[in-house]
C-alpha cells in the first residue's frame, strides 16, 4: 500500500508560529527594555521559555523582571501546547499508520478469485475500470506512487512495488488469484512478470500486453496464455466498425455491463456437471435457462461456432452463451454442480 505523505495539521502550524512569535517578541522586548544586544536578548528569551533555569544574562531592572515574568507565563504555556500537539500528531500518525496497514493486510487476506493487474498506465486503467463495472475483484501493482494513490482513492486496492518480484506476487495472493494481466511499461518487464507468475502458479491464466510483435514468442515462452497488442486490436476494431458497424454494436452491448437485459458469458463444464455426455438438444439450455449457445470450445482448444444440436458436451468444455445475467448465473451454477 502506498505511504502517502501527510500534511502538517493547521493547529500544529499555528502552535509553531505562536512559539516563534513569542520568541521574537521576547527578544525584541529585552532589546528595548534592557538595551541588550540581539543575541543576549534571544538567549534570555530561550532560557525563560524553556525553563532551563540558568542565571540571567545581565542584571534585570524592575521592568525587565516584569517582562521576564510575562515571557515565562506566555512562553511556557506556548511551549507545552506545541509539545503536546507534536506528541499527539506523532502518536496518532503512528497508530493511524498501523491501523491502515493492518486493515490493508486483512483486505489482502480476504482477496480470492481475483485478478492481479500489473501496471496502471492507460491500458491498466481501462482494465481496472472494466473490472470495477463488472464487480470483479482485483488488485493493482505499480511502481508509481501517484498511480497507486489514484487507485486507492478510487476505492480499489493497490500496492506500490515491482510486479516481477515473487514476494510481491505472493503478497497480493497469487495462490488464490483467478488470473494475472501483465501491462507494465515495457516488453522486458512484462516477460519478467509473466515468468515470475508462472513459476509461482503453473495453472494461472496469464494475459500479457506487447509493444512490439517480436516480443510475442518470448512472452508465450515465459508462460503467457494470451498475448495481445492494443494497437493491433484497436486497428481490427476500427476496421470491423467500418465494415460491420451493427455487428460491432451488438458485441459491445453483449459484453458491456451497461446492458442489463443481455450479456455474454463463458461457462466451463465441471466433471460432475449433469450436462456432460448430453447433446445440446437433450440439455435443453434454451428451454430451461433461456440462453443461446453461440460457440463451444473444446478442452483441446478447438472452437465450434454455432454448434450443431447433435454435438455432445465433454468435461472441460467452455460454452460461450448469450442471455439475461440471472439466466447465465443459473446456468453457471448448474454447470458446476
Give the pLDDT confidence of 148-183 residue by residue, as tens digits. Answer: 999 988 888 999 999 999 999 999 999 999 999 999
Number of structural domains in the chain:
3
| pLDDT of 166 | 94
Domain hosting residue 28, numbered range: 10-108
| Domain end residue (candidates: 108, 132, 150) | 108
Say if CB 145 and CB 160 are below 8 A apart. Answer: yes
CA 172 to chain centre: 11
Is residue 219 located within the same domain as residue 116? yes
| 103 domain residue, yes or no | yes
The C-alpha cell that represents 93 in the structure block: 500518525
Provide the CATH number for the domain around residue 139: 3.40.50.720
- Residue 79 in contact with residue 87, Cβ under 8 Å? no
Contact 289, 319 (CB under 8 A): no
Chain segment 7-43, per-residue pLDDT in tens: 556 666 777 788 888 889 888 988 888 888 888 888 8
Mark whether 89 and 138 lie in a shared domain.
Answer: no
Residues 200 and 124 in one domain: yes
**Domain endpoint, select from 169, 201, 233:** 233
* 202 and 255 part of one domain: no
Domain shared by 32 and 52, yes or no: yes
- Of 68, 70, 57, 151, the residue nearest 104 (C-alpha): 151
Establish if 146 belongs to a structural domain: yes
Co-location of 49 and 78 in the same domain: yes
Per-residue pLDDT in tens (0 to 9) along the chain, 337 residues: 444 444 556 666 777 788 888 889 888 988 888 888 888 888 888 888 877 766 777 778 888 888 888 888 888 888 787 777 777 766 665 555 666 677 777 888 888 999 999 999 989 999 999 899 888 899 999 999 999 999 988 888 999 999 999 999 999 999 999 999 999 989 999 999 999 999 999 999 999 999 888 889 999 999 999 999 888 888 888 898 888 888 777 777 766 655 556 777 888 888 778 888 888 888 888 888 888 888 888 888 888 888 888 888 888 888 888 888 888 888 888 887 6
pLDDT of residue 188: 92
- At residue 255, the pLDDT reads 66
Q: What pLDDT shows up at residue 308?
A: 87
What does the alpha-carbon distance between residue 131 and residue 153 come to, in Å, rounded to a whole number?
16
- β-strand pairing of 226-228 with 179-182: unpaired
Check residue 164 and give its pLDDT: 92
pTM of the model: 0.61
State the pLDDT at residue 290. Answer: 86
- Return the pLDDT at 3: 42
What is the CATH number for 25?
Answer: 1.10.287.70
Q: Looking at 85, 108, 131, which one is the last position of a domain?
A: 108
Q: How far is CA 5 from CA 14, 146, 297, 326, in A?
A: 20, 11, 50, 45
- On whether both 211 and 316 belong to a single domain, the answer is no
Amino acid at each position: 500500500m502506498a505511504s502517502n505523505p501527510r500534511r502538517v495539521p493547521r493547529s500544529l502550524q499555528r502552535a509553531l508560529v505562536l512559539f516563534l512569535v513569542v520568541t521574537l517578541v521576547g527578544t525584541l522586548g529585552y532589546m528595548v527594555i534592557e538595551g541588550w544586544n540581539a543575541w543576549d536578548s534571544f538567549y534570555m528569551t530561550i532560557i525563560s521559555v524553556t525553563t532551563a533555569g540558568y542565571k540571567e544574562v545581565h542584571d534585570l531592572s524592575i521592568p525587565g523582571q516584569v517582562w521576564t515574568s510575562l515571557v515565562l507565563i506566555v512562553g511556557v504555556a506556548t511551549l507545552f501546547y506545541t509539545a503536546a500537539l507534536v506528541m499527539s500528531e506523532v502518536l496518532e500518525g503512528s497508530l493511524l499508520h498501523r491501523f491502515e496497514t493492518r486493515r490493508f493486510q486483512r483486505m489482502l487476506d480476504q482477496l480470492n478469485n481475483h485478478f492481479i493487474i500489473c501496471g496502471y498506465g492507460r491500458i491498466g486503467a481501462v482494465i481496472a475500470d472494466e473490472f470495477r463495472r463488472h464487480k470483479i475483484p482485483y488488485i493493482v501493482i505499480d511502481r508509481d506512487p501517484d498511480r497507486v494513490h489514484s487507485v486507492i482513492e478510487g476505492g480499489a486496492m493497490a500496492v506500490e512495488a515491482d510486479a516481477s518480484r515473487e514476494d510481491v506476487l505472493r503478497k497480493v495472493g497469487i495462490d488464490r488469484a483467478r488470473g494475472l494481466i501483465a501491462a507494465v511499461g515495457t516488453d522486458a518487464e512484462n516477460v519478467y512478470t509473466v515468468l515470475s507468475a508462472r513459476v509461482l502458479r503453473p495453472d494461472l491464466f496469464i494475459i500479457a500486453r506487447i509493444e512490439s510483435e517480436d516480443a510475442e514468442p518470448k512472452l508465450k515462452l515465459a508462460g503467457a496464455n494470451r498475448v495481445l497488442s492494443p494497437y493491433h486490436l484497436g486497428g481490427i476494431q476500427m476496421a470491423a466498425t467500418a465494415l460491420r458497424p451493427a455487428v460491432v454494436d451488438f458485441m459491445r452491448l453483449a459484453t458491456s455491463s451497461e446492458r442489463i437485459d443481455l450479456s455474454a458469458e463463458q461457462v466451463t463444464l465441471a466433471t460432475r456437471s449433469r450436462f456432460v455426455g448430453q447433446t445440446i438438444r437433450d440439455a435443453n439450455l434454451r428451454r430451461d435457462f433461456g440462453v443461446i449457445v453461440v460457440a463451444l470450445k473444446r478442452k483441446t482448444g478447438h472452437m465450434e461456432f454455432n454448434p450443431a444440436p447433435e454435438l455432445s458436451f465433454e468435461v472441460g468444455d467452455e460454452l460461450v452463451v448469450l442471455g439475461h445475467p440471472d439466466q447465465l448465473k443459473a446456468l453457471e451454477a448448474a454447470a458446476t454442480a
